[in-house]
């Protein structure tokens, strides 16, 4: 069979497609040129829109700036729920514009504070290792891992509040000193009387542990010293330490108590505050997609809106003309 008819049909189809593409390109070119002519006819209006947009954008760039004051905090004495509730309470006061309350807790410029945010710093391994019930938690996480639900569990609200550290962010409309927002808010968060009592008792307990452990360590040192003198007189210290299991146990207990003393002294440092501030990073300028760009984006938006308005006006006139012709013809 001859393939010439098929080839001819293909050539006709390609030619038709080519003409359509050229036609579309020609229309696009005409539309672009029409837009240029439209802008040229209304050049004064366009210049005014650009100047107005640039001016408004400049002021928006200045007024829309925000600054983040970030803090890594550790809630002690099981105060995580209290911390989250108080942050929400402060946010309610900010939303309500309750400047009297905000001033009463020491915030000097309450109208300049936008909001307060808090979120946990996810540290799942530390949570498993440090928790008193870590065996049970480890089994739970293994079970969740088998079901593929670890990510969900890590971000779950009930789980996230058990993390040791949390990120507290104060958002303000101006750069500030620590005394303007950070210190008053942290003082307020640490002012709960019930938690203060728990703090006092916890510090007393740690100090008692330190004193008791120091006494035990001194007693162990005395016993080890006496044993060392006895073994020296017997000229068999090496054999004495290897064979005497009681002394080996004393050395092990001393090592354990020494490590515990280090942890107790670190606890005293952490217990100096109910909500302990570990790190402060003030005056971080918040950057978004439009930050500092409104002076350019707003003039462009106004000009595009003006062009769209011109096309809509032209479209409206054409449609009305068609309707009038149809009515006359009818």
182 φ, ψ to 5°?
-65, -55
Q: Could you report the per-residue pLDDT of 122-160, keeping only the tens digit for each?
A: 776 665 565 544 555 566 566 555 555 555 656 666 666
Mean pLDDT across 29-46: 76
Q: Could you report the per-residue pLDDT of 283-312, keeping only the tens digit for each?
A: 888 766 566 667 777 778 888 887 787 777
Secondary structure of 82-97 in HEC code, one letter for each residue: HHHHHHHHHHHHHHHC
- 250 contact partners, CB below 8 Å, separation of at least 6: 220, 223, 224
Decide: 87 and 168 in contact? Cβ < 8 Å.
Answer: yes
Q: Could you report the per-residue pLDDT of 69-112, keeping only the tens digit for each?
A: 999 999 999 899 999 999 999 999 999 999 999 999 999 889 88
CA distances from 132 to 18, 80, 87 (A): 76, 17, 28
Beta strands in 3-125 (DSSP E): 67-75, 113-120
Q: What angle do CA 276, 281, 284 make, to 5 degrees?
A: 145
Question: What is the CB neighbour count within 10 angstroms for residue 101?
Answer: 16
Return the biggest CA–CA distance within the chain.
132
The whole-model pTM stands at: 0.65
């Amino acid at each position: 069979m001859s393939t010439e008819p098929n080839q001819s049909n293909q050539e006709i189809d390609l030619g038709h497609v080519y003409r359509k593409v050229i036609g579309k390109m020609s229309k696009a070119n005409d539309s672009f040129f029409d837009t240029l002519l439209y802008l040229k006819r209304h050049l004064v209006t366009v210049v005014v829109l650009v100047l107005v947009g640039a001016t408004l954008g400049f002021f928006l760039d200045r007024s829309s700036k925000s600054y983040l004051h970030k803090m890594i905090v550790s809630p002690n004495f099981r105060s995580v729920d209290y911390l989250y509730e108080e942050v929400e309470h402060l946010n309610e006061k900010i939303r309500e514009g309750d400047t009297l309350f905000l001033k009463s807790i020491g915030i000097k410029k309450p109208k300049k504070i936008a909001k307060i945010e808090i979120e946990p710093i996810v540290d799942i391994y530390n949570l498993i290792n440090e928790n008193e019930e870590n065996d049970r938690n480890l089994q739970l996480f293994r079970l969740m891992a088998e079901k593929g639900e670890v990510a969900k569990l890590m971000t779950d609200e009930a789980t996230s509040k058990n993390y040791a550290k949390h990120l507290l962010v104060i958002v303000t409309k101006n750069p500030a000193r620590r005394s303007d927002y950070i210190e008053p808010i942290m003082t307020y968060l640490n002012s709960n009387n019930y938690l203060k009592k728990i703090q006092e008792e916890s510090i007393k307990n740690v100090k008692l542990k330190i004193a008791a452990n120091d006494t035990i360590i001194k007693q162990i040192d005395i016993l080890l010293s006496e044993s060392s003198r006895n073994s020296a007189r017997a000229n068999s210290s090496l054999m004495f330490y290897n064979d005497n299991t009681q002394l080996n146990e004393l050395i092990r207990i001393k090592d354990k108590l020494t490590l515990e003393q280090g942890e107790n002294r670190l606890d005293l440092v952490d217990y100096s505050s109910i909500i302990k501030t570990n790190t402060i990073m003030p005056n971080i300028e918040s950057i978004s997609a439009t930050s500092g760009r409104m002076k350019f984006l707003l003039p462009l938006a106004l000009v595009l809106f003006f062009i769209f308005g011109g096309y809509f006006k032209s479209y409206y006139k054409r449609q009305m003309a068609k309707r009038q012709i149809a009515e006359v013809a009818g």
